[in-house]
Amino acid sequence: MVAPFWEGIEKMGRRGDITTPGPVLWDLKVGDDELYQWCNERSDILVTQITEEIDARVSYIANKYKNLGSPDLGGKSHSDLYVVATALYFGSDVVTQEAATRNLNGPKIPDVCKAEGVQSVPLYRFFQEKWKGPAR
């Protein structure tokens, strides 16, 4: 892994500028690769534990957007529900590489974010506008 990039991610996690819900880490565990190992070693600063409040938002999203993250529609898991629910709970942006489908019957994270008033930021834009790497 490229050291300055990962140092920057770690610093942002320590400052509380970025977080990811636990189910995303669980998804990474399936690959059990270098990315999972790195994130797992820093889970105390990078991973938000799921609370009752976040779970309530997960239920809301799952009921309203039944196909979000659905493996039948090309999704990988239900961690997408937790990504959006965590952003709703914290009032934060979501950084994703997914492109919107503009179809709420087969939505991706950006579609649900837009429908719920959550800012969805493409990964490239995060780096252009919000990146606070190791030099800061």
- Model confidence pLDDT, tens digit, residues 5-58: 888 889 989 998 899 999 898 888 887 789 999 999 999 999 999 999 999 999
- Residues making up the chain, counted from first to last: 136
What angle in degrees, to the nearest 10, is found between the helix axes of 79-90 and 22-31? 150
**Is residue 130 within 8 Å of 10, Cβ to Cβ?**
no
The predicted model scores a pTM of 0.85
- State the average pLDDT over residues 99-107: 92
Task: Encode 111-131: b = buried (16+ Cβ within 10 Å), e = exposed.
Answer: bbbeebebebbeeeeeeeeee
Q: What is the pLDDT of residue 136?
A: 46
Please give the mean pLDDT across all residues of the chain: 86
Structure tokens, 39: 């994130």
Question: CATH topology for 3-130?
Answer: Rossmann fold (3.40.50)
The 8-class DSSP code of residue 75 comes to: -
Q: What is the pLDDT of residue 26?
A: 87
Per-residue pLDDT band for 93 (boundaries 50, 70, 90) equals: very high
φ and ψ of 73, to 5 deg: -115, 25
Distances (CA, A) of 83 to 7, 32, 104: 23, 20, 17
CA-based angle 15:21:27, to the nearest 5?
125
- State the average pLDDT over residues 62-74: 75
Q: What is the pLDDT of residue 132?
A: 59
Per-residue pLDDT band for 134 (boundaries 50, 70, 90) equals: low
Using CA atoms in the order 44, 6, 93, 58, what is the torsion angle rounded to 10 degrees? -40
